[in-house]
Structure 1
Amino acid sequence: MKRALTLLSFGAMLAFVSTQLLASGSIENGKQKAATCFACHGADGNSVDPQYPRLAGQYNMYLQQVLHEYKDGQRENPIMKGMVATLSDQDIEDVAAYFSSLPSKLDTLKGHVEGDK
């Protein structure tokens, strides 16, 4: 029984560490690579225009997934497809690390949902 608990604990720790490794990326490099994103999403990731999502504080892996989906066409948006077309997997990890590291100013969806006034 003790051995089973030890193995279970080790497995849980390994899963946690591997999740952290998958979410890796350089915040500093991400800030540099995200410079073109700032025009719409803001340098602090908190866009003031509701048509552009606020990226600050979003989950790292979510941001990576979304960027990959724009890149491979699963999400259709010609502007975003063009923006991510030249990003490598490492670039995407870095950009996601940058935006996910920023504090979000989004405390409610009021005024931030397209069509909401």
Structure 2
Amino acid sequence: MKRFILAGLTAGILGMWIPSHAVESAKVIAATCFGCHGPNGKTVNKNGYSIVGKPAAVIEKTLLQYKEDKLKGTIMNRLAKGYTDEEIKKVAEYLATLK
């Protein structure tokens, strides 16, 4: 019985830790986006592309297309290949929350 309780508590603690870790990880990944896409994803360059306010599904799909070389970019293909599909999903979800 004690083993079941301990297992349940461990799973609960890990369950609380993983999502917050994923959010922190997404923030770190998103910081790489801001170099080109502007502070918090809002471009300040007339030739830039703002990613702020885009739906998570659109961001995720676009990043996956870059990763799979279905879209061509100057650096986006190389950047996207550096992340797992799960990391791309999390960063897309985070970016979608920015206003």
Residue in 1 that maps onto 2:69:
73
Deviations 1:36-88 (A, max 9, x none): 11111123110111322111110000000000011111111131111111110
- Structure 1 stretches lacking a partner, 5+ long: 1-25, 104-117
Written as runs of structure 1 = structure 2, the 5 A alignment for 1:37-56 is 37-56=33-52
Distance 1:27 1:43 in 2: 18
Q: 2:88 aligns with which of 66, 86, 92?
A: 92
Q: What is the RMSD of the two structures over their aligned residues, measured on CA atoms?
A: 1.4
Identity of aligned residues (%): 31
Structure 1 stretches of 4+ with a deviation exceeding 2 A read 26-29
3-state SS of 1:78 partner: coil
- Larger RCO, structures 1/2 (Cα 8 Å, 6+ apart): 1
Distance 1:70 1:44 in 2: 21
Written as runs of structure 1 = structure 2, the 5 A alignment for 1:23-62 is 26-62=22-58
Question: Is 1:83 matched with 2:79?
Answer: yes
TM-score scaled by structure 1?
A: 0.61
Q: How many residues align?
A: 78
Distance 1:43 1:29 in 2: 18
Distance 2:98 2:88 in 1: 16
Distance 1:59 1:72 in 2: 20
